[in-house]
Amino acid sequence: MKRFLGFVKKEFLHIFRDYRTLFILFGIPAAQILIFGYAVSMDIKNAGIAILDLSHDEITQKLTDKIISSGFFKRTENLLHYNDIDRVFKKGKTKAVIIFEADFGKKLVREGKASLSIIADGSEPNTATLVTNYTMAIVNDFTMELAVPALNNSIRIQPEVKMFYNPNLKSHFMFVPGVITLILILICALMTSVTITREKEFGTMEVLLVSPLRPIQIILGKVIPYFILSFINVLLILALSWLVFGLPVKGSIILLLAECMLYILMSLTLGILISTVSKNMQQAIFISLLGLMLPTILLSGFIFPIENMPKVYDYVSMILPPRYFIVIIKNIMIKGTGLMYIWKETLILIVMTLFFIGLSVRKFKIRLE
Amino acid sequence: MRTILYLIRKEFIQIFRNKFISKAIFAVPIVQMLILVPAITFEIKNVKLGIIDRDMTSESRGLISKLEGSTFFKVSFSTFSESEANSLLHRNKCSVILQIPSGFGRDIGNANPAKLLATIDAINASTAPLSWAYLNGIIRDYNMDLITENISTNPLVPLPQIQITNRYWYNEMLNYKYYMLPGILVILVTAIGFLLAGLNMVREKEIGTIEQINVTPVRKYHFIIAKMVPFLLIGLIDLALGLVIGKLAFNIPFEGSILLMFFCASLFLIAVLGLALFISTFSGTQQQYMFIAFFCMIIFILMSGIFTPYESMPVWAQDFNLINPVAYLMRINRMVMLKGSTIHDISRELYSLAVIAICFSALAVRRYRKTA
Amino acid sequence: METHVITVKNLVKKFGSFVANDNLNFEVFGGEIFGFLGANGAGKTTTIRILSGLSKPTSGEVKVAGFDAYRQTEQIKKNIGYMCQKFSLYEDLTVKENIILYGGIYGLTKSLIKERIAELLAKLRFQEYENRIIADLPLGLRQKLAFSVAVLHEPKIVFLDEPTGGVDPITRRQFWEMIYETAARGITVFVTTHYMDEAEYCDRISIMSEGKIVALDTPENLKKQYNAATIEEVFIKIARPVSLHPHPPAPFS
């Protein structure tokens, strides 16, 4: 036991001496939290639109002003011809063109009908839909305002909305759990697989294996420091999101931390498994970084809800541990629910951990023989 | 010049002698593209809707049937108990609850506005407003229906109406694969080039073979170029593979000039590889390199506007993107591929990319020391 | 023969406050085998790295093959070969590929490279290994190959930093035969070693201790001067290991 502790201490020192790696270990989650918090958002703001006003009257002017002043848009150009549309789109700054037909105002006053077209750049479907929807809503509002005197308020449905869990529609309710999920699995799997493969590659693993330490102790010794570092990372992310975004943990913090430990453990065992199948560090890095990064970001429900994916992805994503952890962490942090609601996901993570351990032990034994 | 060829030959032999890497550099992008590209849609459909109808009038039933008829919503339950509805929200069994209070039908008849209350699970702050917008749109339509019904039975002044037609250019059906493929392709190409080139360099340091090179009269830029060329070619091959997959598997059109795209991608790869080799001069071990590279990649990719609208970013973030090669290629790819933008349209991006490529490569050559 | 291919005057190399090379002065003559001895950490490798252009001196004058070690490191590199204690050919390339690579780097023509490969393989009886990757070769063979690659381009000087470390006696013997052969071709050999019997094979040797050169002469002269039977005795007399007892032992350890 004493020998083992000495070994763990040595591994710790090894990590702490490399301040650059340590800095990045904590820098990555911090940077991600800040980027998601301050730099990127899914919503649109200042989307470029161009106006092709074939009428040039008071009403089109008013409507244009109303659209531009909404804050969602920024006027890039006023166009003169249909032929210009393709040109502005190809430059990339303009996301939509709004076209007022000739005699728009006159027609609206005389015939009560005028038409307007929105042409959006479909190469960015999300922006295109949002721009179109927002513009339509503004135009409809405008029509309503014109119609109000005529309607005499007789028929009006007034829907109200309550944004549950997240009344101010803050995006960090989504990304803080996502960042924790992504960072933990990547860093844990990466770190463990790489350190163990490194020993293999440089032949130092043989030295360790002939030492009085048992193989399981060697692996544990390598993994324990990362377990602790990752746990500190969780605390750091939680503290950061609380201090910077005021995001509290609604449910039990003890349960949350326990679940995080389970997830860290799962990720570490995944790392060990990767190390048993990799011949050298490049391979380990390739598998753990390239193999895990994109699927975790895209398929775990971190940014993109699984419900919106085609049905098969519901099954494909079942083999991804992050998928379950995201549900767990969102439930505890944001909905404030207890174990009752997440026991299934927790159980799946436990089973996965055991599965990875079993598989690694088998692979490891085969290698030793 | 001949020296470069010998060095490049050596790099190629080494890469392709590594059984895992030589397969992975092509297999990983192919597999990930095939799996990931069709996964993502922002298209909202079948949002699970719960209904609490306390009104039970023909008006409320009219609204519900209108909702049921839409593809956005799927009425998953209706109840009278608010607490049951909330518990369903907790358990993710529904994401929108619409409450129709009693008196809804009555208020439509008289001058009072008829109230409705929607409760939306807003943890995902980007889809919640969309659900709300769709719900609101349906309610508004229903309102219009009622008004026109009312007017036809009781004709007053004609209502002013603005007819809105809308179209999406370049991607008529808003196929998300058109959007995702160029993005995922850029990420994969970046990751492979960035990781492998840097790791390769640091590995030579770690094993000590670089000493043997440093003691020869080989020129610094020869060595750097020789480290870049193989990964540049691999990156371009991956790009080509990605485009072929896009065409064959997802039928994604290619409007612009393929040559232009490959030219831009080459500039991009030179920039990325230059940066990778530059960073590798700071790292003593592959582990260290990997972490710095991971850090840079995450920042570059997240800031590039791959999954989020570029214009919504604050000014400082857009300024940062002036030196972010991923942001440029992301825009160029989508513009050239989908819109057929010409060299003239993307000249600004192209120049910037060229400048970045030159700067990063120059830094890599400068920082690489043959003599300590 | 009496021309200096290496001239070192007042060479000092510091790493921070640590002085690795403390005022070295020596010359190496063209075509000789110059043995560079010293205990571990005496500063041999530092000197070799400076002489081969891998590291810059802090002060002093250093000329190698007529070129200045501050400003003309690249010209120096054209005129030297180098083989270091850490094995450094590419392990995942074959014997042939390694030779082609270094031949190409030193600007040998294609036909010349081909010729040299044939020569080398014949000389080392390596033919069967031509297309084997280095990682599969035994250490002795690898070292011989590394040496052959280091002199592939017929440099003026070749630096060997502990070339025979970890190699069996028979291979060591063969290795030294190769060194003699090389010197006979007019290539100056600058070699560091831990094996004192090897030192006896050198034309002249210098012994370093704690960053200084404490002796420099032919093996015979040194033995005479120190009244010793072997170089090993000479070495033990003058080159005490750097950190035998640098500090008095701590009382509570």
Other C-beta atoms closer than 10 Å to the C-beta of A294 total 20
Instruction: Assess whether pLDDT exceeds 80 at residue A209.
Output: no
Q: Give the domain range for residue C29.
A: 4-79+155-238
Shared domain for A209 and A355, answered yes or no, is yes
Complete domains list, chain B, with CATH: 2-40+176-367 (no CATH), 47-153 (3.40.1710.10)
Query: Given pLDDT bands bounded at 50, 70 and 90, which one contains residue A300?
Result: confident
**Of residues A36, A151, A285, nearest to B199 (C-beta):** A285
Residue whose C-alpha is closest to residue B255's, from B326, B246, A52: B246
Shared domain for A84 and A213, answered yes or no, is no
Shared domain for A349 and A302, answered yes or no, is yes
Is the pLDDT higher at C81 or at A280?
A: C81
Please give the pLDDT value at position B204: 92
- Helix H, strand E, coil C: the string for chain B is CHHHHHHHHHHHHHHHHCHHHHHHHHHHHHHHHHHHCCCCCCCCCCEEEEEEECCCCHHHHHHHHHHHHCCCEEEEEECCCHHHHHHHHHCCCCCEEEEECCCHHHHHHCCCCEEEEEEEECCCCCHHHHHHHHHHHHHHHHHHHHHHHHHHHCCCCCCCEEEEEEEEECCCCCCHHHHHHHHHHHHHHHHHHHHHHHHHHHHHHHHCHHHHHHCCCCCHHHHHHHHHHHHHHHHHHHHHHHHHHHHHHHCCCCCCCHHHHHHHHHHHHHHHHHHHHHHHCCCCCHHHHHHHHHHHHHHHHHHCCCCCCCCCCCHHHHHHHHHCHHHHHHHHHHHHHHHCCCCCCCHHHHHHHHHHHHHHHHHHHHHCCCCC
Is the pLDDT higher at B271 or at A186?
A: B271
Task: Answer yes or no: is C134 within a domain.
Answer: yes
Percent of chain C at pLDDT > 90 equals: 45
Please give the pLDDT value at position C240: 59
Contact A33/A237 with Cβ under 8 angstroms? yes
Q: In whole angstroms, give the CA distance from residue A45 to residue C101.
A: 56
Q: What pLDDT, in 10s, does the model give residues A234-271?
A: 999 899 888 888 888 888 999 999 999 999 999 999 99
Task: Answer yes or no: is C109 within a domain.
Answer: yes
Chain C positions in Cβ-Cβ contact with residue B226 (cut-off 8 Å): none
Query: Mean pLDDT across the stretch A177-200?
Result: 87
Q: In whole angstroms, give the CA distance from residue A49 to residue A65.
A: 12
User: Could you tell me whether strands C204-209 and C33-38 are parallel, antiparallel, or unpaired per DSSP bridges?
Assistant: parallel
Instruction: Assess whether pLDDT exceeds 70 at residue C1.
Output: no
B254 interface with A at CB cutoff 8 Å: no
Identify the burial level of B36 via C-beta atoms within 10 angstroms of its C-beta, where 0-12 means exposed, 13-18 middle and 19 or more buried: buried
Please give the pLDDT value at position A198: 86
Q: Give the domain range for residue A213.
A: 2-39+171-368
Shared domain for C27 and C71, answered yes or no, is yes
User: What is the nearest CA distance from B214 to chain C, expressed in angstroms?
Assistant: 7
Task: Answer yes or no: is C234 within a domain.
Answer: yes
Q: What pLDDT, in 10s, does the model give residues A73-119?
A: 999 989 998 989 989 998 888 999 999 999 998 988 888 888 999 99
Q: What pLDDT, in 10s, does the model give residues C162-183?
A: 888 888 888 889 999 999 999 9
Is the pLDDT higher at A19 or at B237?
A: B237
Beta-carbon separation of C84 and B211 below 8 A:
yes
B15 interface with C at CB cutoff 8 Å: no
Give the domain CATH number at C171.
3.40.50.300
User: Where is the domain boundary, C112, C129, C154?
Assistant: C154
Task: Answer yes or no: is C42 within a domain.
Answer: yes
Task: Give contacts of A 193-222 with B, CB under 8 A.
Answer: 194-195, 198
Chain B positions in Cβ-Cβ contact with residue C92 (cut-off 8 Å): 13-14, 17-18
Q: Which residues of chain B have pLDDT under 70?
A: 42-43, 111, 151-159, 372
Instruction: Assess whether pLDDT exceeds 80 at residue A55.
Output: yes
| ipTM over 0.90 threshold | no
Shared domain for C50 and C19, answered yes or no, is yes
Task: Answer yes or no: is C74 within a domain.
Answer: yes
Shared domain for C183 and C99, answered yes or no, is no
Beta-carbon separation of A24 and B307 below 8 A:
no
Beta-carbon separation of B163 and A115 below 8 A:
yes
Q: What pLDDT, in 10s, does the model give residues B127-179?
A: 888 888 888 888 888 887 887 777 655 555 556 778 888 888 888 888 888 88
Please give the pLDDT value at position C245: 43
Q: In chain C, which residue's Cα lies nearest the Cα of B222?
A: C105
Query: Given pLDDT bands bounded at 50, 70 and 90, which one contains residue A40?
Result: confident
Please give the pLDDT value at position C244: 46
User: What is the nearest CA distance from A58 to chain B, expressed in angstroms?
Assistant: 15
Please give the pLDDT value at position B244: 94
Beta-carbon separation of C105 and B7 below 8 A:
yes
Shared domain for A75 and A138, answered yes or no, is yes
Q: In chain B, which residue's Cα lies nearest the Cα of C98?
A: B10
Q: Which helix (H) or strand (E) holds C119?
A: helix C110-124
Shared domain for A246 and A190, answered yes or no, is yes
Beta-carbon separation of B14 and C90 below 8 A:
yes
Number of domains in chain A: 2
Is the pLDDT higher at A283 or at A305?
A: A283
Please give the pLDDT value at position A149: 60
User: Could you tell me whether strands C33-38 and A73-79 are parallel, antiparallel, or unpaired per DSSP bridges?
Assistant: unpaired
Shared domain for C25 and C131, answered yes or no, is no
B16 interface with C at CB cutoff 8 Å: no
User: What is the nearest CA distance from B173 to chain C, expressed in angstroms?
Assistant: 51
Shared domain for A99 and A194, answered yes or no, is no
Shared domain for C32 and C72, answered yes or no, is yes
Shared domain for A192 and A214, answered yes or no, is yes
∠B28-B34-B35 over CA atoms, to 5°? 90
Chain A positions in Cβ-Cβ contact with residue B167 (cut-off 8 Å): 117-120
Shared domain for A74 and A219, answered yes or no, is no
Is the pLDDT higher at C123 or at A61?
A: A61
Chain B positions in Cβ-Cβ contact with residue C77 (cut-off 8 Å): 215-217
Please give the pLDDT value at position C188: 95
Shared domain for A330 and A206, answered yes or no, is yes
Shared domain for C45 and C34, answered yes or no, is yes
Is the pLDDT higher at A98 or at A310?
A: A98
Percent of chain C at pLDDT > 70 equals: 93
Task: Give contacts of A 21-80 with B, CB under 8 A.
Answer: 21, 24-25, 27-28, 31-32, 35-36, 38-48, 74
Q: What pLDDT, in 10s, does the model give residues A133-182?
A: 889 888 988 887 877 665 555 567 778 888 888 887 777 787 888 888 98
Contact B13/C97 with Cβ under 8 angstroms? yes
Shared domain for C126 and C197, answered yes or no, is no
Beta-carbon separation of B211 and C86 below 8 A:
yes
B347 interface with A at CB cutoff 8 Å: no
Q: What is the token pair recorded at C115? A: 């010729």
Instruction: Assess whether pLDDT exceeds 70 at residue C211.
Output: yes
B214 interface with C at CB cutoff 8 Å: yes
Query: What are the distances in angstroms from CA A287 to CA A271, A294, B24, B318?
Result: 10, 12, 9, 32
Query: Given pLDDT bands bounded at 50, 70 and 90, which one contains residue C249?
Result: very low
Rg of chain B on CA atoms, in Å: 29
Identify the burial level of A83 via C-beta atoms within 10 angstroms of its C-beta, where 0-12 means exposed, 13-18 middle and 19 or more buried: exposed
Residue whose C-alpha is closest to residue B138's, from B70, B75, B48, B78: B70
Task: Answer yes or no: is C98 within a domain.
Answer: yes
Shared domain for C168 and C93, answered yes or no, is no
Please give the pLDDT value at position A171: 76
Task: Answer yes or no: is C247 within a domain.
Answer: no
Give the domain CATH number at A107.
3.40.1710.10
Q: Which of A71-75, B88-92, C56-60, C88-92 has the lowest mean pLDDT?
A: B88-92
Instruction: Assess whether pLDDT exceeds 50 at residue C246.
Output: no
Q: In whole angstroms, give the CA distance from residue B288 to residue B293.
A: 9
Instruction: Assess whether pLDDT exceeds 80 at residue C86.
Output: no
User: Where is the domain boundary, C125, C154, C183?
Assistant: C154
Q: In chain C, which residue's Cα lies nearest the Cα of B371?
A: C54
Which residue shows structure tokens 């943890």?
B123
Please state whether at least 3 CB pairs lie below 8 Å between chains C and B. yes
Q: What pLDDT, in 10s, does the model give residues C198-210?
A: 888 899 999 988 8
Chain B positions in Cβ-Cβ contact with residue C89 (cut-off 8 Å): 209, 212
User: What is the nearest CA distance from B199 to chain C, expressed in angstroms?
Assistant: 16
Q: What is the token pair recorded at B102? A: 């009693």
Number of domains in chain C: 2
Task: Answer yes or no: is C102 within a domain.
Answer: yes
